[in-house]
Amino acid sequence: MEYRLSSSEREFAEAHHNLIYAFLNKEKLEQSEFYDVVALAFLKAVRRYFINKNLVDYNFSTIAWTAMKNAVIKEKKKQKFNFVSLDEPAYRDSEVTLMDSLGQEDNFDEKIIYLDLVRKVKPNLTVKQRETLYKRAEGLKYSELAEKAGITKRGIESRLTRARKKLRLVFVEGDDIA
């Protein structure tokens, strides 16, 4: 839903536009990276300030600052979950990195698809689920996995079942669970 600011809202936004730069400077944020996020939050705060008459009792700068801060936090959370380092170990206590696991014989398109799937699935798997999946893929038996993890064979089966359900959402059904 697109909303255009009224002329009075637009004038108000122009008069307080310096809050955007003050916020970016105070929070030490790159203007090129966060200006759009912060500016949209600022404009939503202007609209909310005019629509919600209860907000007139408060300083606009407080309302705008809070809206911009929340928008930056939300954006950083999004960015955090989209980051996959190729140099990090595939699992704890491993020397194999994600880049190593791609193999040299794979073609470029397959690597891109694989990395996208890893990005989608990784945030939803626990560290233990990820480690167990990698070790199982290396050929370890359930009993060996259970011994290394210090749990029962049934515990390993449950862990892998939960992990496979999450993987199935991405690989089979194509849902973006991240």
Integer distance in angstroms from the first to the last C-alpha of the chain?
25
**Global confidence as pTM:** 0.47
- Domains of the chain are 7-81 (no CATH), 98-171 (1.10.10.10)
Are 35 and 10 spatial neighbours (Cβ–Cβ below 8 Å)? Answer: no
Which run of H or of E encompasses 150?
Answer: none
**How confident is the model at residue 18, as a pLDDT?**
96
Beta bridge partners of 48: none
Q: What is the pLDDT of residue 13?
A: 93
pLDDT digits (tens, 9 = 90+) for 96-123: 666 666 555 545 566 566 556 666 777 7
pLDDT band at 173 (very low <50, low <70, confident <90, very high): low
Whether 14 has a pLDDT exceeding 90, the answer reads: yes
Mean per-residue pLDDT of the chain? 80
Asked whether the beta carbons of 38 and 65 are under 8 A apart, the reply is no
CB contact at 8 A, 37 and 44:
no
Each residue's pLDDT tens digit, 33-62: 899 999 999 999 999 999 998 988 899 999
| Percent of the chain that is helix, strand, coil (3-state, to 5) | 70, 0, 30
